[in-house]
Structure 1
Amino acid sequence: MRRADRLFQIVQHLRGGRLTTARDLSETLEVSERTIYRDIADLIGSGVPIDGEAGVGYIMRAGYDVPPLMFSRDEVMAVIAGTRLIERMGGAAMAKAAAEALVKIKAVLPEGLEAQANRVEIHAGPNLMPTERDRHFIDQIEAAIDARLRLALTYADEEARKSTRVIRPLALWLWKNGWCVVSWCELREDFRMFRIDRIEAFTTGDPFREERDKGLPALYAQLAERGIDPNE
């Protein structure tokens, strides 16, 4: 375990509000008590509000926030990969925010870790890459989901037949053929998925209230009954 990770773990253990001995910490982190004493002294010297003494135990005063970005190497790589995925495949606003977040994350990484982060690449097939129009649709639909607003769609199916629907948007899913809005369709009175790239136009409508039989938990139960795993 890197020393930075060990210091983070010590802080996490002491945040519990219980008196914790150096022996307990040394057994948990698999290092010597002398190492724990040295680490705690360094934490106190850096301003972490730890009270206690050797032979008695240590406790952290309430209200201390752990500094951000104290990640392990694997955690950093996961964050970088997820951010790059959203940058390439998310809505326009979300992609922009992901790019800005990536700059901030990389700015505080150690030199060796930054080089590894630069090698993380995300690729996707053409069916999964949204167009600029679809990126903006994703942003607007996401806002409607958050505000629980109905959407009136003009939609073309796989045979280019057009229809108009009023839906209750529930979630955005990256499905097998791209982004879909998962919804309750008021015309069919059932759950439906509409591909973003087949939505020709839409407008936002009036708010809808949550109903147990028309929400995501009910959809998941319906899929389970049919033996469908939405994660596959």
Structure 2
Amino acid sequence: MRRADRLMQLIQILRDGTLHKAANLAAATDVSLRTIYRDMETLAASGVPIEGERGVGYRVTAAITLPPLNLTMTEVEALHLGLLAVREGADAELSAAAARLSAKLDAVMPENRSRAPQGYGLAVYPFADAARGFQHLPSLRQAIRTRQKLALTMNSAERTVRPLQLDYWGRLWTCVVWCEKSRDFDEIRVDTISTLRILPSLFVNEAGKSLTDFNARQQGQAGR
């Protein structure tokens, strides 16, 4: 049995809310006790509300659990925008729930650690800080798709860039750009953008200025 299938089977067993001994879970899934202990740690780290410990047993404490989901970057963006709307609403209970849900999503979001900018870990930035940049995500995505240059204001300075790719690091969004002022690549935090204008001028792939060139540079640096 694949590990993903076994984890799903364990969720189905535990979701009745009763206490299940690790030995019984191991027998039900035909694995060792050590494997069950690792699986429980994995499920807990993934946001499944598991309560228990080795030698005692385990149970799921919430009434509702969801199977694993595969989300696109656009769907992640939609989730963040929706959570932001609820988080900033007047209902205190819903606002708190949105914050908790955001934390659970952060806990299961994958990260490309091979090129994550230093300090851009999961849930490092408070929700309100990262949320400032959410308003710019649709325009950034449009400009990347249509290959239009952008005029950005950041720290009171304006710069013209070619947007190449959006990345997500756990509430924090960044954009890979080619900056026409510095004549170099940059990864900018979306939440640091004060204003954004899509310019009418288009850009084409040029040697040394494309996403392929950026990725090649990153791979070269990682190999050192």
TM-score of the superposed pair, with normalisation by structure 1: 0.45
Greater RCO, CA 8 A, separation 6+: 2
TM-score of the superposed pair, with normalisation by structure 2: 0.46
> Computing the radius of gyration over CA atoms, which structure comes out larger, 1 or 2?
1
